[in-house]
Structure 1
Amino acid sequence: MPAPARLIVNLDVPDLARAERFYCDVFGVTVGQRLGGGAVELLGLEAPLYLLEVAGGSVASRASPAVRDYRRHWTPVHLDVAVEDIDRARSVAIAAGAVDETGVRDAPYGRIATFADPFGHGFCLIEFNEGGYDAIAT
């Protein structure tokens, strides 16, 4: 039987040093390795997070005329990070430069807050209650 696939998360950012500081501060991750001058591996989440420095306005793909735009944007992919203390994590995120989009709100599975990082990527902080997602599972 083949080994299961592994998830690796890559985020394009226009300023690698700033992004590294932001994600290390907010998520408590640490640098694993640097991949040349334009990429860094961050470890400490369940999947490694690679920050890739790519200029705004550059072509996103040879197959598409779209260009990278680091203003807040909508994408169907975002990061959810489970934390023990959402109030503390929210404060750290805001101090690091995150834009708080919703404040902390209650949900059947716990408490959640939605943000944009300084580069336009969306992410959520979630503090699960004892039921977690089982509270909404069918």
Structure 2
Amino acid sequence: MPGLLINIDVEDLERAEAFYCAALDLRVGRRFGGGVLELLGTDAPIYLLENKAGTRAAADSVRDYARHWTPVHADFVVDDLDAACRRALAAGASAEGPVRSHAWGRIAQFADPFGNGFCLVAFSERGYDAIAEDA
């Protein structure tokens, strides 16, 4: 089975470290040179990659740290959604709508200070089993 690493581009590594450690109770693992930081405390390590706005992001685009949308984002599973939301907001996250309830649990959408979206999720007792169908 392949492993998983999560990489998040940020414009200011020090500010991103402060945000992610405060908002999600993550801790610093290792530092790699001046522009990469490993965060631990989730199932997969998260790497913050310092890349300035305007630098090449892909073949046909440059980095822009205004709020942006991507179909790939991180969901952080928490036990107490209300407390996690308060913590994220206090650290500088921007809420993107109200907390929503579903058969599988509750979800809150946020953006970090660098425009990256993420969600906080608290599963119900059955979690995704509440909506799962046999394959």
How do residues 91-110 of structure 1 correspond to structure 2 at under 5 angstroms?
Answer: 91-110=86-105
Deviation at 1:87, TM superposition (A): 0.5
1:39 aligns with 2:39: no
RMSD, aligned CA: 0.8
Counterpart in 2 of 1:126? Answer: 121
TM-score by length of 2: 0.96
Take 1:17 and 1:107, find their aligned partners in 2: how far apart are those partners?
A: 36
Of the candidates 2, 5, 15, which is equivalent to residue 2 of structure 2? 5
1:58 aligns with 2:55: yes
1:30 aligns with 2:20: no
Question: Taking every aligned residue pair, what percent have the same amino acid on both sides?
Answer: 57
Task: Give, as a single letter, the amino acid of the residue that structure 2 aligns with 1:6.
Answer: G
Take 2:61 and 2:36, find their aligned partners in 1: how far apart are those partners?
A: 22
Deviation at 1:5, TM superposition (A): 1.3
1:70 aligns with 2:65: yes
Deviation at 1:69, TM superposition (A): 0.7
Task: Give, as a single letter, the amino acid of the residue that structure 2 aligns with 1:18.
Answer: R
TM-score by length of 1: 0.94
Deviation at 1:34, TM superposition (A): 0.3
Task: Give, as a single letter, the amino acid of the residue that structure 2 aligns with 1:39.
Answer: V
State the 4+ residue runs in structure 1 displaced beyond 4 angstroms: none
Take 1:103 and 1:57, find their aligned partners in 2: how far apart are those partners?
A: 32
Give a deviation string over 1:44-97, Cα, whole Å, max 9, x none: 100000001000111113xx1200011111111100011011111001101111
SS in structure 2 of the partner of residue 11 of structure 1: strand
Take 1:136 and 1:125, find their aligned partners in 2: how far apart are those partners?
A: 19
Counterpart in 2 of 1:20? Answer: 17
Deviation at 1:108, TM superposition (A): 1.1
